[in-house]
Structure 1
Amino acid sequence: MNMPDKVEVIEVGMRDGLQMEPDFVDTGTKIALIDGLTDAGLRHIEATSFVSPRAVPQLADAADVLAGVRRPAGSRFSVLAPNLKGVERAIDAGADEIVVFVSASESHNRKNLNRPIDRSLDDISNIAEHVRHVGIGKRGAIACAFGCPFEGDVELSAIQRIAGHFHAAGFRTLTLGDTTGMATPALVARTVAAIRGAHPDMKLTLHFHNTRGIGLVNVVAGLNAGVDSYESSLGGLGGCPFAPGASGNICTEDLVYLLNEMGIETGIDLDKLIQVAARMEAVLGRRLPGQVMKAGPRLRLHEYEDAACATG
């Protein structure tokens, strides 16, 4: 076991979560939620996406959101930017990091990006060249890294090929995405070992969904493999509109609670984080799947006199 002492939690709910919502959340509310997240100690937030407003109208205010958020010391605001036009908009808006992605399966890539994998890889090379001297960070991401809803298991060789392309293009951070919750602990261990074996200088982040109820189990598998960076979503929001059955991401509050109880440092105030999750629930007008926001931390005690008593 190579369990890390400290873990970076990357909040993706403001992008990966809100993109799935049927109704537009106003810009001021988004900014207030993000400021709440930074107040709780989160320092790496995927704040929005520079995609076509026609494709994802919920994130049409991307530039205004970035312009309005507070930026405490050490904070980093990432944005999804799948093409050169999006990258240029992200640079103009002052993003700290762009995230570009490709799917490990041909079928999902065509659904998600409307192009074959090879063309997406060409786009990645062009984007890397475009930002080489701009001073903006760049992160690669592989969707469906643990399975595809159309093709089933994904060959390790396909994931290694894409990871190698990112590495050759100068990317040194890479997210492995469990887009439809198909990851298992054994798959996590095998995939992490394969990528690390080929590219030991590449920092890995794991992005799990809780579709089949083992999202946090897969986190533990990742921790055992020494991975110290995880993406999660406030309240468990999110999914993928182009992948059938892709329910929400692992929940940020649940993840932070798990890490706290394992003695792993995150720098995040769980009580404050729960308050932000409750505000997100109020904004969306429905219960979210996160568990810790409902029950509270393990040692949150209750008044004895207020509890019901068995009778008879």
Structure 2
Amino acid sequence: MILISEVGPRDGLQSIDRVMPTEAKKRWIAAEAAAGVREIEVGSFVPPSLLPQMADTAEIVAFAKTLPGLNVVALVPNAKGAARAVAAGVHGMSIPFSMSETHSLNNVRKSHTEMLAEIAKVAAMAHDAGVHFAVGLSTAFGCTLEGAIPEEQVVRLAAAAYEAGVREFSLSDTTGYADPAQVRRLVRKVRDAVGDALTTLHLHNTRGLGLANALAGLDEGITTLDASLGGLGGCPFAPGASGNIVTEDLAFMLHAMGYDTGIELDALMKVREIVAEALPGEPLYGFTPDAGLPLGLADRVG
């Protein structure tokens, strides 16, 4: 089974200026869970002064935890945010560790050395609280501020984070620079350093290669793919980094290929209406919602 992890309520909403009403967020999350989405990144524990879109994350976590079978996760920027996430009762939390030091300084105001110390603190905190902890190796495929990131640097920093206590990683194409050959190559190299702790790809479709990169990751044994409903998302601290993989298109592709995701496609398509109503005029992307599901899809999936 392939896990599609919905990141729209965090990555999507943090990238737009408007603040989605809390009740609309709850309807969105409940509808996706009802459609069979098993993991949702419901928000981030960052200071509301920086991202007012995330000010209600603790309330959203409390609501999401009432939904049967849903793994409720949140992003944290540091140990202080992790403490808030633990207090809110998240099932899991992740911290972004930028492979570009320039991006790291812009995003979380910390150097690589400082981030590794922070990661060690959060890993210990998560262990003590029984909360799952993962690290997203962001800008792993390139950075709009630094350009190409040496693959050896990504491997070295991943290994250092593993030594700091991290037991799950994602490779994140924060800026939409990745291509399928690079995905295959970097997954193999990072796996050599951290083994099966690398489970996830967080890909953007900025240059139209999101689904191709996802397939490359699947070929290398990746089992979790992040995606955002309607393709909402980006990174406010990486200029030009727009466009997460569209959840609807990814789910369709996987179903059409015979992968089991546990998601009911018809129900997933209808979730889009909730987001469109709450964010009128906000661009939503995706080919499958516009074209509709092909006749006979269920027969082909089996």
TM-score of the pair, normalised by structure 2: 0.95
CA distance in 1 between partners of 2:269 and 2:200 (Å):
23
Partner AA of 2:135 in structure 1 = G
Partner AA of 1:171 in structure 2 = V
Secondary structure of residue in 2 paired with 1:131: helix
> Conserved in 2, the CA contact under 8 Å of 1:278 and 1:293?
no
CA distance in 2 between partners of 1:220 and 1:282 (Å):
32
Partner of 1:50: 45
Instruction: Using the TM superposition, give the Cα deviation of residue 278 of structure 1 relative to its aligned residue in structure 2, in angstroms.
Output: 2.4
Mapped pair 1:270 → 2:260: no
2:208 to 213, 228, 245: 213
Worse overlay, 147-156 or 196-205 = 196-205
Mapped pair 1:99 → 2:94: yes
Secondary structure of residue in 1 paired with 2:185: helix
Mapped pair 1:119 → 2:130: no
Deviation readout 1:154-202 (Å, 9 max, x if unpaired): 1111111221122112222111110110000111011000011122231
Partner AA of 2:82 in structure 1 = V
Partner of 2:152: 157
CA distance in 2 between partners of 1:246 and 1:59 (Å):
19
Percent pairwise identity: 42
Partner of 1:235: 230
Instruction: Using the TM superposition, give the Cα deviation of residue 72 of structure 1 relative to its aligned residue in structure 2, in angstroms.
Output: 3.8
Q: Extract unaligned runs of 5+ from structure 1.
A: 1-5, 302-312
1:295 to 273, 291, 297: 291
Secondary structure of residue in 2 paired with 1:241: coil
CA distance in 2 between partners of 1:152 and 1:283 (Å):
36
Deviating beyond 6 angstroms after TM superposition, the runs of 4 or more aligned structure 1 residues are: none
Instruction: Using the TM superposition, give the Cα deviation of residue 107 of structure 1 relative to its aligned residue in structure 2, in angstroms.
Output: 1.1
Partner AA of 2:103 in structure 1 = H
> Conserved in 2, the CA contact under 8 Å of 1:35 and 1:70?
no
Mapped pair 1:38 → 2:33: yes
Partner of 1:224: 219
Secondary structure of residue in 2 paired with 1:200: helix
Gap change, CA 1:102 and 1:70, over 3 Å in 2: closer
Instruction: Using the TM superposition, give the Cα deviation of residue 153 of structure 1 relative to its aligned residue in structure 2, in angstroms.
Output: 1.2
Partner of 1:181: 176
Instruction: Using the TM superposition, give the Cα deviation of residue 298 of structure 1 relative to its aligned residue in structure 2, in angstroms.
Output: 2.1
Partner of 1:306: none
CA distance in 2 between partners of 1:247 and 1:299 (Å):
32
> Conserved in 1, the CA contact under 8 Å of 2:99 and 2:139?
yes
Instruction: Using the TM superposition, give the Cα deviation of residue 92 of structure 1 relative to its aligned residue in structure 2, in angstroms.
Output: 1.1
The structure with the larger Rg is: 1
CA distance in 1 between partners of 2:219 and 2:51 (Å):
36
Gap change, CA 1:132 and 1:291, over 3 Å in 2: same
Deviation readout 1:256-294 (Å, 9 max, x if unpaired): 000011111100011111100122122111240122111
Partner of 2:300: none
CA distance in 2 between partners of 1:186 and 1:67 (Å):
41
Partner of 1:307: none
Instruction: Using the TM superposition, give the Cα deviation of residue 26 of structure 1 relative to its aligned residue in structure 2, in angstroms.
Output: 1.2
CA distance in 2 between partners of 1:50 and 1:101 (Å):
12
Secondary structure of residue in 1 paired with 2:74: strand
Q: Extract unaligned runs of 5+ from structure 2.
A: 298-302
1:244 to 234, 239, 246: 239
Higher helix proportion (structure 1 or 2): 2
Deviation readout 1:46-94 (Å, 9 max, x if unpaired): 0000001011000101111112235344321110111121111111111
CA distance in 1 between partners of 2:132 and 2:229 (Å):
24
Partner of 2:141: 146
Secondary structure of residue in 1 paired with 2:181: helix
> Conserved in 1, the CA contact under 8 Å of 2:71 and 2:92?
yes
CA distance in 2 between partners of 1:14 and 1:300 (Å):
32
CA distance in 2 between partners of 1:72 and 1:14 (Å):
16
Partner of 1:128: 123
TM-score of the pair, normalised by structure 1: 0.92
Instruction: Using the TM superposition, give the Cα deviation of residue 226 of structure 1 relative to its aligned residue in structure 2, in angstroms.
Output: 1.7
CA distance in 2 between partners of 1:98 and 1:20 (Å):
19
Partner of 2:105: 110
